[in-house]
Amino acid sequence: EILMTQSPATLSVSPGERATLSCRAAQSVNINLAWYQQKPGQAPRLLIYGASTRATGIPARFSGSGSEKEFTLTISSLQSEDSASYYCQQYNNRPYNFGQGTKLEIK
């Protein structure tokens, strides 16, 4: 089982600034890494898959990078609607574990 660790747990950033969220895998997951956004009371929404490919309809201000064990989700020019929890998920090996999440607050 691959442990996924996200940091920081909470992040507070001003509108228009950049947010950088990290996800670390205990062992290599190649580029089989997805990012999701979840707002309270809603189902998660796929943002990124294959570590860096934006899902359909996702704004260009969301970008993903990394491979093997270290991954980053960058949200440039933050907007108020980006306030949410963000989860990474590895799908290289079963069980397809998620990280514990990063809560992004917009100041």
Give the footprint of other proteins on this chain (CB under 8 A): 1, 32, 34, 36, 38, 43-46, 49-50, 55-56, 87, 89, 91, 94-101
CB of 47 to other proteins, least distance (A): 10
Report the SS3 class of residue 73: strand
CA 6 to chain centre: 9
CB of 61 to other proteins, least distance (A): 20
CA distances 99 to 8, 14, 32, 47, Å, are: 11, 24, 14, 15
Closer residue to other proteins (CB): 43 or 60: 43
CB of 96 to other proteins, least distance (A): 4
Q: Write out the two tokens for 4.
A: 């996924």
